[in-house]
Amino acid sequence: MPDDDADRLRGLVAEFLRRHDPAGGATAFLGARFDAGLAWVHHPVGLGGLGLPRRLQPVLDEALARAGVPDHRPRRNSIGLGMAAPTVLRHGTPAQCQRWLRPLWTGEEVWCQLFSEPDAGSDLAAVTTRAVRDGDDWVVDGQKVWTSLAHRARWGLLLARTDPGVAKHRGLTYLVCDMTAPGVLVRPLRQLTGEAEFNEVFLTGVRLPDTLRLGAVGDGWRVARTTLMNERVAIGGRPLPREGGMIGLLARAWRARPELRTHGLHADLLRAWVEAEAARLTALRLRQQLAAGEPGPEGSAVKLTFAELAQRISALELDLLGDEGLRYDDWTMRRPEEPDLLGRTAAYRYLRARGNSIEGGTSEILRTVIAERVLGLPPEPRVDRPPSESGPDRPPPGPRPDRPPSEPGPDRPPGEPGADR
């Protein structure tokens, strides 16, 4: 990375801060950042970026963090920032990018993901929600489930079946659903924690103009793969400082409560700390590799590690705290704007972490993705196709001579995980 690029970016940030007062309000400040190209530096000029290499994003983030400026509360709009933005940028028209990216960045418009269905989660391509063309509109009918933020969302990333007469991966189209449109009904799904982060969404005769389509008709699977790959990076690859997150809470409890210590728990804590640090560095390396292109199947490994580590750390915290760890702060039914893992009790963290191995692709499915698409192992048997069947959408496993190693794999991976939302 040339030093002059980083120095020029720091100079732009300093000049921006001289001209814009964060005290004027978070939304206005974030909008000014977008207009100045200081949202995503790798985005084109006019779409929140400067056309610079993605690897310069940490330089921007660090300079702004030192200035103490307001952020866009990324956990409040995690789907919009982590999944919708890269999908719109890659597959959207210029008009769509202009319409959606700025209010998405500022948090004025929250996004959700309408992928999973009662009978289509891990096998996402089996979705049955139908979208039928009617003139310049699509009429959508179906049900989605485990939809985070649907109760707050203005827009939803929607995968629907538009041609039931072809192979299931080829009959899908990707739409953006107006969550305020007539026929959209959102109902809460109460979780083990007592909250309702998730929802079920019923779509009945919802009319969406064709201008809300991302990608070509019938090409929804390819667009959805962009969303899924970015989802795993967003879930498992969040940047954290050393001893950040749940392992930091556990380490501080250990240091502050010597009466709770045992030799066995000490060994378990050391093991968890090493695993958490290794996972943090792996996630950091993954984010650095994104500078070379789009995320690939390697993000599945990071998300898998994050899920299992969160469950082990939360269980260890309960063991350390004993009876105190079993106290639960509040079973009140509520619909939070964002998860609050670090601000709640150990019991809450333990219960909430149970969902980490389901949301964003189950751990079982992610292991299949890693085996077949990262390690190149033979595909797992599928009940929905003969073992000998292959085709243009199902190439043999292993390296592809027509595709660089960093590029996403075949358009028809077996058992591609569905989203949790």
Active-site residues: which are they?
231
Instruction: Report how many helices (DSSP H) and strands (DSSP E) the chain contains, helices first.
Output: 12, 8
| Residues pairing with 187 in the sheet | 200
Q: List the structure tokens of 75.
A: 């956990």
Q: Are the beta carbons of 117 and 129 closer than 8 angstroms?
A: yes
- Which of 141, 179, 137 is closest to 157 using CA atoms? 179
Name the one residue in this structure whose structure tokens are 């192992």: 377
Straight-line distance from the first to the last Cα atom of the chain, in angstroms, rounded to the nearest whole number: 37
Distance CA 280, CA 302 (A): 9
Distance CA 46, CA 59 (A): 20
**DSSP string computed for 304-342:** HHHHHHHHHHHHHHHHHHGGGGG--S-------SS--TT
- Which of 175, 326, 298 is closest to 230 using CA atoms? 298
Distance CA 189, CA 112 (A): 15
Q: List the structure tokens of 252.
A: 């501080």
- Which of 1, 38, 3 is closest to 17 using CA atoms? 38
**Is the alpha carbon torsion for 78, 69, 99, 97 positive or negative?**
negative
Cα dihedral: 18, 22, 23, 27 (round 10):
140
Max CA distance (Å), the chain: 71
Distance CA 2, CA 39 (A): 21
